[in-house]
Structure 1
Amino acid sequence: MIVAGFILLAVGSADLVRQFAPRRWVGYLTVAVMLLLLGSVSDALVPMVLGLVVGALWVWCMPAERRAPLGFWPAVLLGVLSIGSVVWLGARTDAGLIGAVWSVRSPFGEIPFDLALLTVGTGVFLLESANLVVRAALDGEHTWRPAELRRAAVLDSPDEQPTASDTPVAHPVVPGAQADDGVIGVIGEAGVGAADTVAAEQPEPAGEADAVPARDPRAGFKGGRLIGPLERILVMLLTLAAAYPILAAMLAAKGIVRFPEISRDGETGARAEYFLVGSLVSWVIGLGAAFLVWWAAHS
């Protein structure tokens, strides 16, 4: 499981650096030094190097500024590699230097260092890397269904309807939106699961926007960037805690909250599909993370 821990930690940290660090090379260097120290004190230099290599390949395969060149496949390969390393490699009997002094207890018993690293790496991956995975899945839908994408580009303007020839319609571009083949995409800058970022970043009508005070803290609030990561973390924690009724209620509540927007789809159904694809991919990632930690804890 130490291999999966280093891989997920490297990938997740690299994506956080890309998203938030003002100077990426400083952030990448910091991540490399941090992983080097962890690998040294835990006698896991080979898994650490593998994590760095996979992290570098992930940054190349899953760019944050443009469409992923390999589509959704890097995420699939990463999932197979992580699950395989946890299921088949199992836990180590010796955690090196840090294993001699490591002692962390919980209500469920003592937590080994390898399990703690895997849990931290999984949590870091759910923050920003999972956003890229969801965006890659939605990009794949756009690639295969260009006509519906053109209609989806104007869904947030009820007065505009796509023409019979599916000619792209001029439409306000939200911050971070992407354009592809003349089609204005509606994917948020962070690629958050479901349509949360789209709803959060849609421009308000002119009359309402002018009415918002300049110092109002709600002005420019982009809560959609937080919904996806928080949702996945909650899915992971509630699944590990076996709180399935609460988990089901939370997922159902999200659908109820989004229902008014989805109900305005009309005949295309593009908004509903966008919501379902993004939500399902996001939930699968959260459940997969819970499975990794659960299997590692019981192996």
Structure 2
Amino acid sequence: MTWLGLWLLGIGVADLLRAVEQRRVRRAAVPVGAVVSLVTAVLAGLTGVADLVAIIASIGPLAAWAALSDRSLRRGGGHVEALLVLALTGAALVGFSGFASPADGPLASWLAWADVPLVGSAESLDTVLLVVGLFVANLSTGNIIVRLVLVSVGALRPSESTEHPSDTPEPPRLKGGRLLGPMERVFILGLGLAGQVTAASIVIAAKGLLRFPELQAVRKSDGAEVRGAGIDEVTEYFLVGSFVSWLVALVSLALTR
């Protein structure tokens, strides 16, 4: 699973940079993500032929994911292709992970010297790389996955899924989702890794209770009160987005087992 962790780390870093407003930063997102994966691999002692081939070969899918998801969110269409690139590449890296070298090298030595929890053997460093990759990917990549699904089912227009929406009026949306989503997924993943699955389920239930008043809120339009305006759209947006976000966190947790 070490290859998967490195690839997710690169994807997560690239997607975090893609969320930045500066165009220069967004353009450098994929190269920076690829460099992070390669440098981390070298520091972890993954310099075997199979390791280098797998990591270099995974740069192509990383760039494809960035291009397909960006095009899909801006113009619509191609959602399935983007998600397939993510899923199939991840599955391939897991399927061939038996060829990966044991994680060691300067990174393992430094983590052991720093007395970081979970570190002390090659296997534990493999776990650390996977967990770090999953956490980073859940920050921004998880948001992109959620928006892709929302656009594909029609709960979100492509122009609304970018940082620069169109001039057309927007239906009411739940505010704070792009911040709450990553926090929620990281919280669930952290609680699951700590063995507190019950506490993670309470977080899921609490979100529904906290969002319920907002779903029933009164919206004002043109100076007149309109009760329940767009409530079906907002409810669908909330339910689909929440379930996809939870699924991303739960799949991440399952990969650590």
Q: TM-score, normalised by structure 2?
A: 0.75
Of the three residues 42, 47, 51, the one matched with 2:46 is 42
Could you list the structure 1 runs, at least 4 aligned residues long, displaced by more than 6 angstroms after superposition. Answer: none
Deviation of 1:82 after TM superposition, in Å, equals: 1.9
Contact 1:7 1:54 in 2 (8 A): no
Q: Take 1:21 and 1:37, find their aligned partners in 2: how far apart are those partners?
A: 26
Counterpart code for 2:4? A
Corresponding residue for 1:140? 152
Deviation of 1:68 after TM superposition, in Å, equals: 4.9
Q: Highest CA radius of gyration, 1 or 2?
A: 1
Whether 1:11 aligns to 2:15 is no
Q: Secondary structure of the residue that 1:95 maps to in structure 2?
A: coil
State the identity %.
30
Unaligned runs of 5+ in 1: 144-148, 151-172, 187-194, 201-222, 295-299
Q: Secondary structure of the residue that 2:256 maps to in structure 1?
A: helix
Between structures 1 and 2, the one with greater helix share:
2
Matches within 5 A, 1:219-258: 223-258=176-211
Contact 1:232 1:285 in 2 (8 A): yes
Contact 1:9 1:122 in 2 (8 A): yes
Counterpart code for 2:52? L
Contact 2:138 2:249 in 1 (8 A): yes
1:122/1:175 Cα in 2 relative to 1: closer, same or farther (>3 Å)? Answer: closer
| Aligned residues between the structures | 233
Q: Take 2:76 and 2:39, find their aligned partners in 1: how far apart are those partners?
A: 31
Of the three residues 123, 126, 132, the one matched with 2:135 is 123
Q: CA RMSD in A?
A: 3.4
Deviation of 1:174 after TM superposition, in Å, equals: 11
Counterpart code for 2:133? G
Unaligned runs of 5+ in 2: 218-227
Corresponding residue for 1:106? 117
Counterpart code for 2:193? L
Q: Deviations over 1:28-82 (max 9, x none)?
A: 4444433332233421322321332221111111107614541144224423432
1:176/1:263 Cα in 2 relative to 1: closer, same or farther (>3 Å)? Answer: same
Deviation of 1:283 after TM superposition, in Å, equals: 0.2
Corresponding residue for 1:74? 82
Q: Secondary structure of the residue that 1:74 maps to in structure 2?
A: helix
Corresponding residue for 2:66? 59
Q: TM-score, normalised by structure 1?
A: 0.65
